[in-house]
Chains A and B, each alone.
Chain A
Amino acid sequence: MSSSPKLHYKTVFDIPKEELFAPGHGLCAGCTAGTIVKLLLKVAGPNTVIVNATGCVEVSTTTFPYTSWRVPYIHVAFENAAAVASGIEAALKVLKAKGLIDPNKRVNVIALAGDGGTADIGFQALSGTLERGHKLMYVMYDNEAYMNTGIQRSGATPQYAWTTTTPVGKVLRGKIQFKKPVAEIVAAHRIPYVATANPAHFLDMMNKFRRGLEVEGPSFIHVLQPCTTGWRFDPRLGIKIARLATETAMWINWELDYGEFKVTVPVPKRKHVKHYIRLQGRFNHLTDRDIEEIQKMVDSEVERINKVVGKEIIGPVVE
């Protein structure tokens, strides 16, 4: 399994009709996390156990006596989704070996957590799980702040973004530090499969979920998840903003499959970052000069990625 398999989901007609994520959940109108979870379950199918960290998806889908989950689901705490998932994986493995459950039944174990539960408080448990090599997939839905508790900054919040704990004042204007490159840090664990994805490119995202469930060992999918409430945009714009993230190269969809790096969504003609930034209230305070600074950072990142790929997979800014 050294090279990527053929793409499984080529058109929207390849997507299974079965809905394992029930309607009636309490996510915000326009939340793109629902889109991600719904498609994730379509890929995974019913033989799946979901381990969900505390966060937006958890609180809005499991208020007793209701549940949105038509697959077995467990929530334990904020910082330990990876550890809980590793326990489930180990249990299934040994119960199969002892003949206590059907040894031929393949059950997907998926950990699902936000950026806070992954990049910050859950990072230790994640790193340990990756190092131990459990066969499970970890999906990080990244809305770039602690949205569930009211938009506090996380390690995954981008530079300059307003949050309730990085307010725009007379002295300080938004987050000072860079966004933690979580997928790259995960890749340094040399696990079989790491990818970044984005719900606007949903077929690409679903193929990555599929590949992540297929590989023997841990996989990690880092999904950008535009948040209407925290990013301050009109609820109908979530997917448009997700697409602009890729078109501006503020977000690059790539995969690292057994060491083989590939940009899965090439961008021959790039858009200026202002198209992405100006749609979001969290960046309202930025001046044109600030935006130019961000553009320069994106340019240098694009240059770096193109060098790694060995060709101009992401083109110059044309609009």
Chain B
Amino acid sequence: MGEWVRIPLSSNYAAAYAAKDADVDVVAAYPITPQTTVVEKIAEFIANGELQAEMIHVESEHSALSACIGAASAGARVFTATSAQGLELMHELLYIASGLRLPIVMSIASRALSAPISIWGDYSDVMATRDSSWITIIASSAQEVYDSIIQAYKVAENPDVLLPVMVAYDGFLMSHTYEPVYVAKDRSTILEFVPKRKPLWNILDPDKPITVGAVGNPDWYYEFKYQQVVAIENSLNILKQVFEEFGKRFERNYSFIETYNMDGSDIAILTYGGLYGTVTEAVDIMKKRGLDVGAIKLRVFRPWPTEELIRILKNLKAVIVIDRAISFGAALEGPIAMEVLATISKKSLDTALHSYIASVGQRAVTEEDVMAMVENSIDLLKKGVSLTEKSIYWGVRQ
């Protein structure tokens, strides 16, 4: 169980504390708003001797992830953090980090993508990494950021997984707002849960020379990629085990999805990140007004938690998906709505799906907005709309 202290932390600081308590060896990062305070805090920890790590002050995010790849290949536990354009600049290396099966952990203060330039929060950056074979966790509180990063190392370093993990949260709305967070009083509490990994076969060691990053011609490339398919499938089980062990040990319980007020609700709102808090507030208000609506938080985006989701969706008349990014020109432009639709189709459920886009570029979404979306959705249901023809762009000036 260990001893814990409750301190006020922003999600950025929570990420930094988690990296410190996981005793990371190498941190390579480049400043970008709104991620910067993660790296500043880690620099402070190193400067004060609270963390023994090499900090590589790289000249770009491309080099940040490159240096992490090098360090992880040499057997170090590594950490990096970024946002938006920085994540885009890393894009090439995202695929290489996972292809080389390196257990890198990265925190993302999610932010809108240029152009026009916007430093504000949305999930365009994270959604653009969809196919990069990174395990992707989206947190909705600073506590969850801290806990998810700890869990991330344990999953990433599992020999049946060996994939990088990103832990994302809302830029500004979470990265720069303070909440009370329990952090380990002593790092040993964390390291007992997630001990430093023993060198596996894939370490650059002169005593056992190996070639990393070989050329995969048509007779081999496909098998390498299929191994990643198996690894990310394996990660479903490993994630589950890690969540359970974490809950048992630390009494904070997590799963792939979280739900709220589902009993007696046949309509639920599904979203991700900090917006989940607004949604649950709206649920409370609606309940007081006599309307029971549930809330579903998608916490793990990759691997997609099909089974967990089906278990919940099958009891619903309709699910309202609020997306925070746009997949331009897609069949359904809410990226998560599209996946939910595929999940519904897998089991031929008759759950209606209403797709909304909101909070793009951090356009404010209040409880009132959420309640209005629910009203709108109920209207659609009355009209017999089981699937929105297109995603509904909430609050945009058309």
By a beta-carbon cutoff of 8 Å, the part of chain A in contact with chain B is 46-49, 51, 58-59, 62-65, 67, 69-77, 79-80, 82-95, 97-98, 100-101, 105, 107, 124-125, 127-129, 131-132
Contact = CB atoms under 8 A, between A and B. Distances in A.
9 contacts: A62-B213, A67-B214, A73-B213, A76-B96, A80-B66, A86-B63, A90-B26, A94-B52, A124-B59
B67 A48 contact: no
Q: Which of B59, B63, B96 gathers most chain A CB within 10 Å?
A: B63
Q: Which of B66, B71, B206 gathers most chain A CB within 10 Å?
A: B66
Contact of B204 (A59, A74, A80): A74
Nearest to A73: B211
B70 A84 contact: yes
Given A63-B215, A64-B215, A76 B93 contact: yes
A47 B209 CA distance: 10
A86 B74 CA distance: 11
Given A87-B70, A93-B54, 7 more contacts: A49-B206, A73-B211, A79-B62, A83-B63, A84-B73, A87-B69, A95-B25
Contact of A90 (B56, B63, B100, B211): B56
**B interface, size bucket:** 35 or more
Contacts of B52: 94, 97-98
Contacts of A84: 66-67, 69-70, 73
Nearest to B211: A67
Contacts of A77: 66, 92-93, 96
A132 B75 contact: no
Contacts of A125: 59-60, 62-63, 66
A112 B235 CA distance: 35
Contacts of B314: none
B201 interface: no
Interface in B84-120: 92-93, 96, 100
A82 B25 CA distance: 19
B58 to A, nearest CB: 6
Contact of A72 (B68, B72, B196, B204): B204
Given A49-B74, A83-B58, A91-B71, A63 B217 contact: yes
Contacts of B212: 72-75
Nearest to B57: A132
A67 B74 CA distance: 19
Contact of A132 (B56, B68, B70, B71): B56
Contacts of A88: 70-71, 73-74, 204
Nearest to A127: B59
